[in-house]
A = this chain, B = another copy of it.
Amino acid sequence: MGKAMNRAQILVEALPYIREFSGKTVVIKYGGKAMVDKNLKRRIAEDIVLMRYVGIKPVIIHGGGKAITSMMKKLNKEPKFIKGNRVTDKGTMEIVEMVLVGKINKEIVSLLNQFGGKAIGLEGKDGQLITARKCKDKSLGLVGEIEQINSALIDLLEREGFISVIAPIGVSSKGESLNINADTAAAEIAAALKAEKLIFLTDVEGILKDPSDEKSLIPGLAIKQTENMLEKGEIQKGMIAKVKACQIALRKGVNKVHIISGKRSHSLLLEIFTDKGIGTQVIK
């Protein structure tokens, strides 16, 4: 009984956090190892469904780069990248959409439903959720920049208790599919939903002073500081897109952005249900 009492104690310690976030929207960019490891996938799904049951409104945006590359190889297409952006010809775009929408998105939906959630999978074409135009760099092909998020559809589904799971595919004014950066999509969706928080699940602990040293985690940054770090080149590789997405979200009204490791079990709960949180918090 001592153990049970201990558990009860821990539940009530979560009350202040539940109270604080009750009725608020939290957008989660889901990607990296947390989307591949079978055990981590289940932990994340549990966390998200628990969030929904305690009154928080989670919205998921996922990536899927590795699975796309793997499918391209099976179909004998060579993946190409320019500055981290996938060069997306028509054939590649078809593979991107099939893999993101027909495989990864629905796996996440199904897993959330297994834990008792009511999830629904969407991409940009559904109800014109994400309208986009081709990006300026024509050599990238069908890579898109977001024009508008149709937040009314997500609001409707939220009100009815659904968790929206969104693949980062935009639709052009001609109805074409466009490949959208998932970090940017998460930022724009968080902004359109006036989300309380945007959380990036990544493969590192957060923003590091020294990228080679996980212990050099910076727990908090203001938007201005991230600009300086970008200028000085202190942020590198995949983190650049994330930090830029942070800036977009914060400038457009999101309250707080968090870059955390998705490699820990229950990292979402650790972030939301503790005072200290985990990873790096970026604020305005």
Query: A270 is contacted by which of B8, B121, B156, B265 (Cβ under 8 Å)?
Result: B8
A55 to B265, CA, bound (A): 25
A118 to chain B, nearest CB (A): 6
Q: What bracket does the count of chain A residues touching chain B fall in?
A: 35 or more
* Also in contact, A98 and B109, with CB within 8 A (given A5-B266, A19-B116, A55-B55): no
Give every chain B residue within 8 A of A106 (Cβ-Cβ).
97, 101, 123, 125-126, 169, 177
Give every chain B residue within 8 A of A49 (Cβ-Cβ).
15
Q: Does A82 lie at the interface of the complex (its beta carbon under 8 Å from any beta carbon of B)? A: no
Query: A102 is contacted by which of B43, B101, B273 (Cβ under 8 Å)?
Result: B101
Please tell me if the beta carbons of A125 and B113 are within 8 angstroms of each other in the complex. yes
Q: Which of A4, A49, A114, A276 has the most CB of B within 10 A?
A: A4
Q: Does A50 lie at the interface of the complex (its beta carbon under 8 Å from any beta carbon of B)? A: yes
A102 to chain B, nearest CB (A): 3
Query: A98 is contacted by which of B14, B103, B113, B126 (Cβ under 8 Å)?
Result: B103
Give every chain B residue within 8 A of A47 (Cβ-Cβ).
8, 12
Please tell me if the beta carbons of A266 and B8 are within 8 angstroms of each other in the complex. yes
Please tell me if the beta carbons of A125 and B121 are within 8 angstroms of each other in the complex. yes
Q: Does A24 lie at the interface of the complex (its beta carbon under 8 Å from any beta carbon of B)? A: no
Please tell me if the beta carbons of B110 and A103 are within 8 angstroms of each other in the complex. no
* Also in contact, A14 and B15, with CB within 8 A (given A102-B97, A103-B102): no
Please tell me if the beta carbons of A8 and B269 are within 8 angstroms of each other in the complex. yes
Give every chain B residue within 8 A of A11 (Cβ-Cβ).
10-11, 14, 50, 266, 269, 273
Give every chain B residue within 8 A of A126 (Cβ-Cβ).
106, 109, 119-121
Q: Does A127 lie at the interface of the complex (its beta carbon under 8 Å from any beta carbon of B)? A: yes
A162 to B153, CA, bound (A): 10
Q: Which of A101, A125, A278 has the most CB of B within 10 A?
A: A125
Identify 8 residue pairs between A and B in the complex whose beta-carbon atoms are under 8 Å apart, listed by A's number.
A7-B274, A11-B273, A15-B49, A15-B50, A15-B116, A75-B75, A97-B106, A119-B125
